[in-house]
Chains A and B, each alone.
Chain A
Amino acid sequence: MAADWPDKDDHELLALLQAGSHHAFAALVRRHTERFYRLAYRFVQSRESAEDIVQDAFLKLWEEPGRWQPERNAKFTTWFYRVVVNLCLDWKKKKRPVPLDEEMPLPDERETVDAAMIRAEEEKILEIEIADLPDRQRAALNLCFAEGFSNQEAAEVMGLNLKALQSLIMRAKATLRERMKGRM
């Protein structure tokens, strides 16, 4: 589609957006919706909520394009990841996620016949444990493992120094290891 403007980078599109170009906004949305949805989904574990969060983030950008200040932010995606992470954290404050069933049956010896089922169960348990981590640890984990960010990039998104981010990841993994003990 011509409006996708593959020849224009994010910063050029944002400059056009700030001048009121809806086409530039559309190009930006088509280019990045999927990745920001993935990030939001990992936080909220709900398709509807993740879609709402991504929509809110983009509509805020459209309504107030002055929020993007190129001289203060090196990269659009880094800045926008931060916007989405903040919206996810706000969402969590407003609405506690529905607690997943703690009585969920754990795979026992009889179930090992179906490896796929066990794996699915393990994944469910992992999601429960990740959802239970402190916000910042979860954010760090999502950025580094799910989104494939380097530690440095994730630190930039979260506004932390590298050591603080590494510490968050170490603590998150240690907690998960402890809680998943005997369950995988």
Chain B
Amino acid sequence: MSDAHGEKLDEMLKSRRIEPAGTELAERIILKAESLPQNHTIPPSEWIRRLFAEFHLPRPAYVVAGALIFGILVGLYNPLDTATDDSDPVYLQSFLYADEEAL
């Protein structure tokens, strides 16, 4: 097809006619909406976003919370060696009689 036909096609595509809308279309829509209640359901993605927003903390709070959790974990996995075990008689004896040697 020649360029002239191509141009004519473009021109026709741009100038396609439409039947005008009814004059009161906008008013009809507005009127109909008056009888409809609004539904404020939140889409799931928005709900999740808001949920996380609820738990938002300032950065220092995250640092403190992180340090606490880290401390607890370290404490759990590395019990203190200095913890006394009363059931250990040798340890207990050496503790009780330690001072007597000095005397």
Contact surface of A with B, Cβ cutoff 8 Å: 20, 22, 25-26, 29-30, 33-34, 37-38, 41-42, 47, 50-51, 54-55, 58-59, 62-67, 69, 122-123, 126-127, 141, 145-146, 173, 176-178, 180-181, 184
Given contacts A41-B19, A58-B29, contact A66 B40 (CB under 8 A): yes
Do B16 and A126 touch across chains, with their CB atoms under 8 A apart? yes
Within 8 Å by CB of A146, from B6, B13, B42, B43, lies B13
Chain B residue contacts of A58, Cβ below 8 A: 29, 33
**B68 CB–A CB distance under 8 Å:** no
A66-B9 in contact given A42-B18, A123-B16 (Cβ < 8 Å): no
| In the bound complex, CA of A60 to CA of B29 (Å) | 11
Known: A33-B21, A34-B21, A55-B29. A122 touches B12 (CB 8 A): yes
- B residues 1-45 in Cβ contact with A at 8 Å: 1, 5-6, 8-10, 12-14, 16-22, 25-26, 28-30, 32-34, 36-43
Q: Contact check, B13 vs A55: say whether CB atoms are below 8 A apart.
A: no
Interface size bracket, B side: 20 to 34
In Å, the complex CA distance between A22 and B21 comes to 23
Judging by beta carbons under 8 Å apart, are A123 and B17 in contact?
A: yes
